């Protein structure tokens, strides 16, 4: 999860500008990703969370055991005709899409950690552990199939987005951009597509959970049995 934005701790006067955004989704762990070509430009900033809706808010500043509080009001652009209901609907859909992208990224990180562990088990089993190696390879293949749906595993750089089919993470990112750029409530089409894509993400995450409960559990059981001292 991206670190929360906080004021600096330098002595003296510090200025903190709130961007009116909630925290963004959990991001992909670059250390777990396969090697990529070095990008020619800076990596894009991670996506932010939804923008707060107009209304009353409170700021708490804590220093040691002392907490200072201030009230503030977020007002809408007077040039816009958006209603409170429109802001609410946009915020709720943005919140759901952001949470879905966070779950997707967290699942991909989990998949990559599991694949690394399975590789170690398979490579360390030797000729006497062919059954363990075969189970680990099968589990890896099933995990890789889900990973390829969630993200574009063939992408060679962060901006290599046109040569291969997009992952569900790309689709969620596009939906977040589409919903957030508007100054009104999401359209019925955007809401329907978002619901469908988020359901697909949940279905793929469910596949990973079942693989962990079956294939990975069987690999662990066999590996534990081989590690146990023989009497």
Residue 117 resides in a domain: yes
Residue 74 resides in a domain: no
Residue 41 resides in a domain: yes
The Cα 179–Cα 190 span in angstroms is 7
Tens digits of residue pLDDT in 14-72: 888 888 999 999 999 989 988 776 766 676 777 789 999 999 999 888 888 999 999 99
Tens digits of residue pLDDT in 83-92: 999 999 999 9
Tens digits of residue pLDDT in 70-127: 999 999 999 999 999 999 999 999 999 999 999 999 999 999 999 999 998 877 655 5
How many structural domains compose the chain? 1
Residue 23 resides in a domain: no
Structural domain of residue 184, as residue ranges?
30-52+80-227
The Cα 50–Cα 52 span in angstroms is 6
The Cα 90–Cα 76 span in angstroms is 14
Q: What is the pLDDT of residue 126?
A: 59
* Burial class of residue 223 in the structure, from the number of CB atoms within 10 Å of its CB (0-12 exposed, 13-18 middle, 19+ buried): buried
Residue 65 resides in a domain: no
Q: Do 20 and 49 contact (CB within 8 A), yes or no?
A: no
Inform me whether the pLDDT recorded for 216 exceeds 70: yes
Q: What is the pLDDT of residue 128?
A: 53
pTM of the prediction? 0.86
Residue 164 resides in a domain: yes
């Amino acid at each position: 999860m991206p670190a929360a934005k906080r004021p600096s701790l330098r002595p003296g006067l510090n200025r903190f500008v709130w961007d009116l955004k909630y925290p963004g989704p959990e991001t992909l762990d670059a250390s777990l990703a396969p090697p990529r070509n070095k990008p020619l430009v800076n990596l894009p900033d991670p996506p932010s969370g939804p923008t707060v809706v107009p209304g009353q808010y409170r700021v708490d500043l804590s220093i040691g055991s002392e907490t200072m509080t201030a009230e503030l009001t977020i007002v809408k652009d007077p040039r816009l005709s958006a209603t409170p209901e429109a802001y609410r609907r946009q915020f709720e859909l943005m919140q759901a899409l952001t949470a879905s992208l966070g779950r997707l990224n967290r699942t991909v990180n989990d998949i990559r950690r599991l694949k690394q562990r399975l590789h170690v088990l398979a490579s360390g089993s030797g000729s006497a552990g062919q059954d363990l190696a075969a189970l680990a390879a099968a589990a890896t293949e099933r995990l890789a199939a889900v990973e390829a749906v969630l993200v574009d595993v063939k992408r060679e750089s962060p901006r290599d987005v046109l040569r291969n089919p997009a992952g569900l993470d790309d689709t969620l990112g596009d939906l977040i951009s589409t919903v957030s750029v508007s100054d009104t409530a999401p359209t019925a089409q955007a809401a329907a597509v978002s619901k469908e894509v988020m359901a697909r993400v949940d279905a793929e995450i469910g596949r990973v959970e079942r693989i962990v409960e079956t294939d990975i559990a069987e690999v662990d059981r066999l590996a534990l049995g081989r590690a146990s001292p023989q009497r």
